[in-house]
């Protein structure tokens, strides 16, 4: 992949762009979204540039996808009450703007509050 084609996530992983990192492992990184749509809005990103979207990840490395989902669950437990929404946008028509697979982990951080259907229309 040419230098000019690297995604913003690849640049965050490389330490070229700062991010509020909340989790970092050998294969995944998670950080706070810079334009949150919920009280807790984290992005969980595989460190590989190999997969553009969740469908490619599921076909190419289902174990990494399972690790990503388990990490999302752990982060929701750590940053809120454990209830969370896990969103993958796949394709430009579905709102994907960064073509490096990633998951949005979203939750209300206060116990007793929730994310209502229809509240995250512009994700």
Would residue 51 count as lying in a domain? yes
CA-based diameter of the chain, in Å? 47
Tell me if residue 113 is catalytic.
no
- Which of these is catalytic: 74, 102, 104, 113? 102
CATH, residue 75: 3.30.428.10
Rounded-to-integer distance, Cα 2 and Cα 101, Å: 18
Is residue 116 assigned to a domain?
Answer: no
Tens-digit pLDDT profile for residues 64-122: 999 999 999 999 999 999 999 999 999 999 999 999 999 999 998 655 556 665 555 44
| Residue 88, phi then psi, degrees to nearest 5 | -120, 120
Average pLDDT value over all residues in the chain: 89
| Domain ranges, residue 30 | 3-107
Say if residues 62 and 54 touch (Cβ distance below 8 Å).
no
In a domain, 98, yes or no: yes
Q: What does each C-alpha distance from 75 to 13, 23, 119 come to in angstroms? A: 18, 8, 21
The string of pLDDT tens digits covering residues 16-52 is 999 999 999 999 999 999 999 999 999 999 999 999 9
114 within domain boundaries: no
Q: Is residue 52 part of a domain?
A: yes
Q: How sure is the predictor about 5, in pLDDT bands with cuts at 50, 70 and 90? A: confident
Which pLDDT value is given to residue 108? 85
Let me know if residue 121 belongs to a domain: no
Radius of gyration of the chain (CA): 14
Between CA 108 and CA 59 the distance in angstroms is 31
The answer to whether residue 3 scores a pLDDT higher than 50 is no
pTM over 0.75: yes
Our count of domains for the chain comes to 1
Query: So what's the pLDDT on residue 120?
Result: 52
Task: For residue 74, tell me if it sits in a domain.
Answer: yes
| Residue 117 falls inside a structural domain | no
Q: How much is the average pLDDT of 9-19?
A: 96
């Amino acid at each position: 992949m040419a230098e000019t084609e690297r995604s913003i996530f690849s640049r965050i992983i490389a330490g070229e762009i700062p991010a509020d990192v909340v989790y970092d492992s050998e294969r995944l990184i998670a950080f706070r979204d810079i334009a949150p749509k919920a009280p807790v809005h984290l992005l969980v990103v595989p460190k590989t540039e190999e997969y553009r979207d969740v469908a490619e990840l599921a076909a190419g490395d289902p174990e990494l996808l399972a690790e990503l989902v388990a990490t999302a669950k752990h982060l929701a437990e750590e940053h809120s009450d454990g209830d969370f929404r896990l969103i993958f946008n796949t394709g430009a028509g579905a709102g994907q703007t960064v073509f490096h697979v990633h998951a949005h982990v979203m939750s209300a951080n206060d116990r007793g509050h929730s994310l209502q259907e229809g509240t995250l229309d512009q994700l």
